[in-house]
């Protein structure tokens, strides 16, 4: 055998050995993967089994709640039993985290919060709710509603809509008084001046307008505006009345241009001499409303701003953002300060100050609303767990400080400042909202209604809320 033939044979046998080793390695890898997949399937089956057991426990708890008629026994007996069982199950989850995925744990905790938050303490006062008026006329969803009781001695409300218009209505529901057509984008918020017949509106066209709501005697006719009144019994149907009068305003008295993106909210500041606006450009601007110049730029949020509000009696501004934080800006001294609060895990949709206490209330897409003490805001003093994203809520000034909380799921619920659930506004077919409720606002008096809500069913609704607190 020649040297060349020997070399070829040796090379062939060497490559054959290498192929055999590669095959063995592949087989070992396949067996190892099969063992891994078998372990994963076994663990997943265990997760599914535990999840089914948790769902069975929740269904059992719901059945037990339905069969107890006595509210006092329900609160004393069932809530304690639920607390014991749920705490025990949750401790089991914490001791054995490897058996459960994070998604299952979060889902279980959400269901627990939903059940516990549905309890209504038996010692709370009864709440009486009556639908007074429906305002129909907007061609698209209504983002915002505001109330004014002093203009010309009559109560009026303003609405801002995605149909690029703002409207002024008589609060008793008889007429649509004015229709503003000055914006070229969605009108996102509306506020009445605290002393003058002026309105401040923020829009998706990146501008904020100041315009007059002083209705003259001569005005144009718009027969398309309709208002629906309710009967004593909601189920008896509705009556429609054509409203024939509405003034049209197309030109603002002043335009505040300074943002580079959508303006979400605008508020009067310092008795109406100044204004503050919040925008998707991640800034809030403080304006000299009489001149139209920028006085301060409030920057620092990492994402778009969703809302801004001012304190009713102090030089405080709160701004909310999609970055899960809200900030309180203090202008009470010459050295301005800002505090950042990180109490939510999703977009903060709004925050409002209370006039009766040093508190601020925040709402978020993380399905919570929280009450904070301005003097110590490290942790909230009250947390309200909900089952849907919370939109622009409101706290009453003269109705025992009741919270009106609107949700994405068409509900509006009432709570007290301690987070106790009081009542839900009716939503049976016709009476309530049929789509997302965007905003709620309390009236400063009780005539003819004391709560107004608006939503993406193109309607604004006036309610009469009565809470019978013991004296």
Residue 94 has pLDDT above 70, yes or no: no
What confidence score (pLDDT) does residue 52 get? 75
Q: In this prediction, what percent of the chain has a pLDDT beyond 70? A: 73
Starting at the edge strand found earlier in the chain, the sheet holding 274-279 runs 263-269, 274-279, 283-288, 293-299
Angle between helices 3-66 and 102-117 (to 10 degrees): 10
What confidence score (pLDDT) does residue 378 get? 84
Residue 345 has pLDDT above 80, yes or no: yes
On whether the CB atoms of residues 166 and 180 are closer than 8 A, the answer is yes
d(CA 138, CA 134): 12
Residue 406 has pLDDT above 80, yes or no: yes
Residue 380 confidence class, pLDDT cut points 50, 70, 90: very high
Query: In which region does residue 194 sit, left (phi positive, over 0), alpha (psi from -120 to 50) or beta (all else)?
Result: alpha
Interval 123-140 mean pLDDT? 86
d(CA 159, CA 180): 10
Residue 317 has pLDDT above 90, yes or no: yes
What confidence score (pLDDT) does residue 187 get? 97
Q: Higher-confidence residue: 77 or 160?
A: 160
Q: Higher-confidence residue: 198 or 12?
A: 198
What confidence score (pLDDT) does residue 14 get? 54
Residue range 255-314, pLDDT digits in tens: 999 999 999 999 999 889 999 999 999 999 999 999 999 999 999 999 999 999 999 889
Residue 441 confidence class, pLDDT cut points 50, 70, 90: very high
d(CA 162, CA 234): 28
Residue 51 has pLDDT above 70, yes or no: yes
CA 134 to chain centroid, in Å, comes to 22
Q: 448: cis peptide before it, omega within 30°?
A: yes
d(CA 287, CA 446): 33
Q: Which of 115-124, 290-299, 396-405 has the lowest mean pLDDT?
A: 115-124
What confidence score (pLDDT) does residue 333 get? 87
Specify the DSSP class assigned to residue 271. T
Q: Higher-confidence residue: 19 or 147?
A: 147
On whether the CB atoms of residues 234 and 131 are closer than 8 A, the answer is yes
Residue 413 has pLDDT above 80, yes or no: yes
117-131, 188-202, 432-446 — which one is most confidently predicted on average? 188-202
Q: Among candidates 433, 420, 409, which has minimal Cα distance to 469?
A: 420
Interval 170-184 mean pLDDT? 87
What confidence score (pLDDT) does residue 93 get? 47
- Compute the Cα dihedral for 416, 419, 423, 426 and give only its sign: positive
Residue 332 has pLDDT above 60, yes or no: yes
Query: In which region does residue 367 sit, left (phi positive, over 0), alpha (psi from -120 to 50) or beta (all else)?
Result: left
Mean pLDDT, the chain, as a whole number?
80
d(CA 419, CA 413): 11
Residue 216 confidence class, pLDDT cut points 50, 70, 90: low
Q: Higher-confidence residue: 388 or 31?
A: 388
d(CA 3, CA 214): 111
What confidence score (pLDDT) does residue 287 get? 96
d(CA 306, CA 392): 10
Q: What tokens does 104 get?
A: 């299952």
Residues in contact with 60: Cβ distance below 8 Å, sequence separation at least 6, in sequence order = none
d(CA 111, CA 108): 5
Q: Among candidates 196, 189, 148, 140, which has minimal Cα distance to 169?
A: 148
């Amino acid at each position: 055998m020649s040297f060349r033939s020997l070399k070829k044979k040796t090379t062939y046998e060497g490559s054959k050995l290498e192929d055999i080793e590669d095959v063995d390695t592949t087989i070992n890898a396949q067996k190892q993967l099969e063992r891994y997949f078998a372990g994963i399937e076994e663990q997943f089956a265990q997760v599914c089994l535990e999840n089914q057991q948790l769902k069975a426990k929740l269904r059992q708890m719901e059945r037990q709640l339905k069969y107890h008629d006595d509210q006092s026994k329900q609160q004393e007996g069932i809530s304690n039993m639920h607390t014991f069982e749920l705490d025990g199950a949750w401790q089991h989850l914490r001791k054995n985290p490897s058996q459960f995925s994070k998604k299952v744990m979060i889902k279980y905790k959400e269901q627990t919060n939903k059940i516990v938050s549905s309890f209504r303490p038996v010692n709370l006062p009864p709440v009486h709710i009556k639908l007074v008026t429906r305002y129909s006329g907007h061609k698209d969803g209504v983002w915002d509603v505001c109330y004014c009781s002093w203009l010309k001695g009559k109560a009026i409300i303003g609405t801002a809509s995605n149909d690029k218009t703002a409207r002024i209505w008589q609060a008793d529901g008889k007429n649509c008084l004015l229709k503003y057509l000055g914006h070229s984008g969605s009108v996102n918020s509306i506020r009445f001046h605290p002393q003058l017949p002026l309105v401040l509106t923020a829009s998706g066209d990146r501008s904020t307008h100041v315009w007059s709501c002083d209705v003259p005697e001569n005005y144009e006719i718009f027969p398309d505006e309709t208002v629906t009144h309710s009967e004593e019994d909601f189920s008896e149907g509705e009556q429609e009345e054509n409203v024939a009068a509405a003034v049209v305003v197309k030109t603002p008295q002043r335009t505040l241009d300074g943002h580079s993106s959508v303006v979400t909210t605008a508020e009067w500041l310092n008795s109406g001499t100044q204004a503050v606006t919040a925008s998707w450009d991640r800034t809030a601007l403080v304006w000299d409303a009489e001149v139209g110049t920028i006085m301060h730029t409030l920057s620092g949020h990492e994402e778009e701003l969703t809302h801004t509000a001012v304190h009713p009696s102090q030089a405080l501004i709160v701004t909310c953002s999609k970055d899960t934080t809200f900030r309180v800006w203090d202008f009470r001294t010459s050295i301005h300060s800002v505090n950042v609060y990180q109490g939510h895990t999703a977009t903060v949709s709004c925050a409002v100050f209370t006039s009766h206490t040093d508190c601020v209330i925040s709402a978020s897409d993380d399905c919570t609303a929280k009450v904070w003490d301005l003097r110590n805001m490290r942790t909230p003093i009250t947390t309200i767990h909900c089952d849907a994203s919370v939109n622009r809520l409101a706290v009453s000034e003269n109705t025992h400080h009741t919270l009106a909380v609107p949700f994405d799921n068409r509900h509006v619920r009432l709570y007290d400042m301690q987070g106790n659930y009081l009542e839900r506004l009716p939503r049976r077919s016709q009476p309530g909202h049929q789509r997302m409720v965007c905003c709620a606002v309390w009236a400063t008096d009780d005539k003819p209604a004391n709560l107004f809500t608006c939503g993406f069913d193109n309607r604004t609704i006036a309610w009469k809320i009565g809470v019978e607190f013991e004296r």
